[in-house]
Amino acid sequence: MAETHAHGRGPQASPTLLRNYVGGRFIDGGRPFDIVDPATGRVHAIAHEADKAIVDAAVAAARAAVEGDWGSMTLAKRRALLVAVADRIEQRFDDFLEAEIADTGKPYELAHHLDIPRGAANFRVFADAIANLPTETFEMDTPDGGKALNYALRKPLGVVGVISPWNLPLLLMTWKVAPAMACGNAVIVKPSEETPSTTTLLGEVMSEVGMPDGAFNVINGFGPNSTGEMLTSHPGVRAITFTGETRTGAAIMRSAAPTVKALSFELGGKNPAIVFADADIEAAIGGLSRAVFLNTGQVCLAPERIYVERPVFDQFVAGIKAKAEALKPGLPHEEGVNFGPLISDEHRRKVLGYYQSALDEGATVVTGGGVPKLAGEAAGGFFVEPTIWTGLPHDAKVCREEIFGPCAAIIPFDTEEEAVRMANDTEYGLASSIWTTNLSRAHRVGKVMEVGISWVNCWFLRDLRTPFGGSKMSGVGREGGEHSINFYSEPTNICIKL
């Protein structure tokens, strides 16, 4: 393992070197930049920013792969390689686990049970999906009284740029890479500058399983005036898929427009949850406390606005307060730790700015609102307290803007119509969570939520075959099952006169 090694946490551990992976090999060059462990604030790795020459080389290598061994490979062999990638991720589970934890600071149990298993599973899911999706066939009458047969073939787009986020680095990167490669595209991944370790490790895996050179490439760097902008504007890239904040999505759209690239965006959210008085309140408290605080609130689907019917408002607030105060922050491997840091000091300053804004607008702080006092190495980490507010108006700043932290405003309502109106009164439309035992209401309210996914009596429950994405400013397009396959391929109709 030449490029990465075990991510030690002791003070003497040397930083891991993360180079760019182009054409089946790791290459030198590019300005170095630090990767910081959010749990300690210490540099744990050094990555190399890809310059224009490296980006051009990655596009050329990807193009050569599409026109060469990768593009001419049979579907059966391509699927076998994707399954081999999944197998190898599982064989190197501990390497991926340590790399993901070092980049994100998230608790061991979370990364162990969610991030790494889903990273491997994505390759199996889409290896199966590509083999089981039909295409169209139509027989038609011709003007001369004869017949013609029309059938469609799926073809890869060519070179696909993948820009992945820092909150679930392996999971969300492979969620894009797996279907793109299943369709026969070559991919160029620009991971977040905060969390490139598992993407680099995946480059090693690609070489180990015999993936053709250039089918998978990794270029490190930043966004504007750096690697990301070079990738999104490159004329040799046919499509861009991105998960991240809405402003960045808009910038990518502008950069990609001159070359008319296909775009798939999963963007920000200001997700609502609605708890009706007839709900199983204990289930709602458990489900929504997980939703608000999982991954320190750094989940695009997390609800930051919770509307609770007035008869059960006090009970719900007390319950979620208890859940928040039972969380244990600390270093990822420490026993009992289930609450990690934010990704960076910059992001912590942003979140704490919202905490102050809530106070300025008259919030009652039910719990949290500051920085926990931690000892040892964790004292240098980017931790904040899990935070709940009441007493805020629906139009308060913290009820309108995405915070991406472990916090939520809880607001009472009196009627179903009022709850629906407030829930939909946002420029975003990613997800909602509705809690009720009334079956008619569940269908009725779930249908009118202006979101891409509407959960009832649950949250974060995903069938990977179903459409996933956002409405309004929360995204463009859908991912999952055939929806991913349809984005990463284009149909060609063959018309044969019989």
pLDDT tens across 20-78, in order?
Answer: 999 999 998 789 999 999 999 999 999 999 999 999 999 999 999 999 999 999 999 99
Indicate the DSSP class of residue 13.
P
Angle (CA) 339-340-345 rounded to 5° is 140
Res. 14: pLDDT tops 90: no
pLDDT value at residue 30: 85
The predicted model gives 139-161 an average pLDDT of 96
188 touches 160 (CB < 8 A): yes
**Torsion 366-370-373-376 (CA) sign:** positive
Q: Collapse the DSSP code of 76 into the 3-class scheme (helix H, G, I; strand E, B; otherwise coil) and give the result.
A: helix
pLDDT value at residue 1: 36
The full DSSP string for 444-496 is: HHHHH--SSEEEES-SS---TTS-B--EETTEES-BSHHHHHHHSEEEEEEEE
Res. 318: pLDDT tops 80: yes
pLDDT value at residue 28: 85
pLDDT band at 464 (very low <50, low <70, confident <90, very high): very high
Cα–Cα distance measured from residue 290 to residue 258, given in angstroms and rounded to the nearest whole number: 43
Is 109 a residue of the active site?
Answer: no
| Continuous segment of H or E residues that includes residue 387 | strand 387-390
pLDDT tens across 182-208, in order?
Answer: 999 999 999 999 999 999 999 999 999
Q: Which amino acid is at 312?
A: V
**What are the structural domains, with CATH classification, of the chain?**
16-267+474-497 (3.40.605.10), 271-463 (3.40.309.10)
Instruction: Give the percent of the chain with pLDDT over 90.
Output: 96
Res. 477: pLDDT tops 60: yes
Angle (CA) 303-279-474 rounded to 5° is 25
pLDDT tens across 349-377, in order?
Answer: 999 999 999 999 999 999 999 999 999 99
Res. 175: pLDDT tops 70: yes
Cα–Cα distance measured from residue 213 to residue 442, given in angstroms and rounded to the nearest whole number: 50
Looking at the whole model, is its pTM more than 0.85?
yes
pLDDT value at residue 405: 98
Is 266 a residue of the active site?
Answer: yes
pLDDT tens across 390-415, in order?
Answer: 999 999 999 999 999 999 999 999 99
The one catalytic residue in 300, 309, 385, 407 is 300
Res. 6: pLDDT tops 50: no
Sort residue 317 into left (φ over 0), alpha (ψ -120 to 50) or beta: alpha
Q: Collapse the DSSP code of 309 into the 3-class scheme (helix H, G, I; strand E, B; otherwise coil) and give the result.
A: strand
pLDDT band at 7 (very low <50, low <70, confident <90, very high): very low
Radius of gyration (Cα) for the chain, nearest Å? 24
pLDDT tens across 227-273, in order?
Answer: 999 999 999 999 999 999 999 999 999 999 999 999 999 999 999 99
The one catalytic residue in 98, 266, 377, 479 is 266
The predicted model gives 455-470 an average pLDDT of 96
